[in-house]
């Protein structure tokens, strides 16, 4: 058994994570997610799934990351899927005790209410709730039932591969939208057969739940980065966002839209902003993302593209963008050079023009239209 280094007692738990994330350039993200997670019911936080191979190879890394979470305090429900003798043979009890992690294990012979009572009780006692089940148990039924009982929207599989791996690049696919990408991933050679089978299992889990849920696959060493950064550190699999167009929005809520835009840009909108008229509006159903557009000379100007921090981590910005570009092939827009999204825009456009105050982007425009688009974009009033 390897040595597990204890925390310094005087260190504040929140500072430990924030300091760690600051060291890798993600302190702002970490503060946001820490605030988000601590506002939910403790049992809603997350389910972490551990299978035999990861327990044999990476138990030290798993314990290290979980110990950070427990000091925040965030208590994931840890589901161990292994043969009965694995916990004893791998001395898992000893590992947790040496790390000074209080824990308790419940077998899969209990019903959902008993599991829920067990989990709530252990979290209340500041103990890590561990559930143990056989790998022969149907994983879709097991996780669907557990996620429903806990009302959690987050399931994490810890795997050495770190995600669903793109065979061409050798890197995990950062985000998989099942609505748009599942069929192509399963019918091409982008991912290997093992990952394709696992992706199908994740698809079943997500579609079987009666509430919105996403599944992450991540390396044990990157668990904190996956949880506390917008970009993540593994593969995030989700069904995709429900984007409503202006023709199908029953009644726009101006206050919710204003809150989304101001949170996204971290600035207050000008009083005149909502007096403007827009020809097209695309809205995520829960006001987690929005796009406001105007028509100009047979082109479409993207006036506002707003996506909150949590929504960026869930890929809602990409879902919005797919709807916009599908419906508007002749598009142009602008962004401040120092905005975080400007770098992303450079990967989406056909061309760009930089001025001191703005970078103007375009997609699908004819060469003779570019100067008109630039002129129009630069002359628009500032929204903030």
Over residues 209-251, the pLDDT tens digits come to: 989 899 999 999 999 889 988 888 999 999 888 888 876 555 7
Residue 354 has pLDDT above 50, yes or no: yes
Distance CA(132)–CA(145), nearest Å, equals 15
Q: What angle do CA 1, 11, 72 make, to 5 degrees?
A: 80
Half-sphere exposure for 209 (CA within 13 Å, toward CB): 26
Name the average pLDDT for the chain.
87
* Burial of residue 138 (number of CB atoms within 10 Å: 0-12, 13-18, 19+): exposed
Q: What is the pTM of this model?
A: 0.80
**What is the pLDDT averaged over residues 377-381?**
92
**What is the pLDDT averaged over residues 360-367?**
96
Residue 353 has pLDDT above 90, yes or no: yes
- Give the per-residue pLDDT at 247: 60
Higher pLDDT, 10 or 184: 184
DSSP per residue, 10-33? TS-HHHHHHHHHHHTT-HHHHHHH
> pLDDT class for 25, splitting at 50, 70, 90?
low
Q: Are 222 and 233 in contact (CB under 8 A)?
A: yes
Tens digits of per-residue pLDDT, 37-69? 888 899 999 999 999 999 888 988 899 889 888
Tens digits of per-residue pLDDT, 308-334? 877 777 888 888 998 999 999 999 999
Half-sphere exposure for 301 (CA within 13 Å, toward CB): 21
Q: Pairing mode, if any, of strands 235-238 and 214-218?
A: antiparallel
Phi, psi of 110 (to 5 degrees): -100, 155
Q: Are 354 and 337 in contact (CB under 8 A)?
A: yes
> pLDDT class for 19, splitting at 50, 70, 90?
low
**What is the pLDDT averaged over residues 11-19?**
62
Domains of the chain: 13-238 (3.40.1160.10), 243-379 (3.40.630.30)
Q: Which residues, 6+ apart, have CB-to-CB distance to 346 below 8 Å? A: 352, 361
> pLDDT class for 17, splitting at 50, 70, 90?
low
Q: Are 235 and 173 in contact (CB under 8 A)?
A: yes
- Give the per-residue pLDDT at 72: 84
Q: Which residues, 6+ apart, have CB-to-CB distance to 283 below 8 Å? A: 243, 244, 245, 249, 252, 257, 289, 290, 291
**What is the pLDDT averaged over residues 289-311?**
91
Residue 110 has pLDDT above 60, yes or no: yes
> pLDDT class for 4, splitting at 50, 70, 90?
very low
* Burial of residue 353 (number of CB atoms within 10 Å: 0-12, 13-18, 19+): middle
Cis before 151 (ω within 30): no
């Amino acid at each position: 058994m390897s040595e597990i280094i204890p925390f310094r007692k005087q260190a504040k738990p929140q500072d430990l994570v924030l300091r760690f994330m600051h060291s890798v350039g993600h302190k702002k993200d970490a503060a946001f997610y820490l605030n988000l997670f601590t506002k939910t019911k403790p049992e809603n936080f997350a389910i972490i799934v551990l299978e035999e191979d990861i327990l044999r190879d990476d138990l030290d890394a798993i314990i290290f990351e979980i110990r950070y979470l427990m000091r925040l305090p965030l208590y994931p429900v840890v589901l161990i899927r292994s043969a009965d003798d694995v916990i004893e043979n791998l001395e898992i009890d000893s590992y947790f005790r040496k790390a000074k992690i209080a824990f308790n294990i419940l077998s899969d012979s209990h019903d959902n209410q008993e599991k829920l009572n067990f989990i709530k009780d252990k979290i209340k006692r500041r103990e890590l709730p561990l559930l143990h089940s056989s790998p022969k148990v149907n994983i879709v039924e097991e996780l669907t039932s557990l996620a429903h009982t806990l009302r959690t929207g987050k399931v994490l599989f810890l795997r050495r591969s770190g995600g669903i791996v793109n065979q061409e690049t050798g890197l995990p696919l950062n985000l998989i939208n099942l609505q748009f990408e599942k069929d192509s991933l399963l019918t091409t050679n982008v991912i290997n057969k093992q990952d394709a089978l696992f992706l199908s299992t994740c698809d079943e889990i997500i579609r079987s739940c009666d509430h919105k849920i996403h599944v992450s696959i991540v390396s044990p060493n990157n668990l904190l980065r996956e949880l506390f950064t917008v970009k993540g550190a593994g593969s995030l699999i989700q069904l995709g966002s429900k984007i409503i167009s202006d023709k199908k929005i029953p009644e726009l809520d101006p206050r919710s839209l204003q809150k989304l835009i101001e949170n996204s840009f971290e600035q207050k909108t000008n009083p005149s902003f909502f007096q403007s008229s827009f020809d097209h509006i695309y809205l995520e159903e829960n006001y987690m993302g929005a796009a406001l557009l105007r028509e100009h000379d047979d082109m479409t100007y993207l006036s506002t593209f707003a996506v909150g921090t949590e929504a960026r981590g869930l890929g809602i910005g990409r879902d919005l963008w797919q709807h916009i570009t599908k419906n508007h092939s002749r598009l142009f827009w602008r962004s401040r050079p120092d905005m975080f999204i400007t770098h992303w825009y450079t990967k989406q456009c056909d061309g760009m023009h930089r001025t001191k105050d703005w970078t103007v982007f375009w997609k699908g425009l004819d060469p003779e239209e570019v100067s008109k688009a630039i002129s129009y974009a630069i002359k628009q009033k500032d929204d903030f």
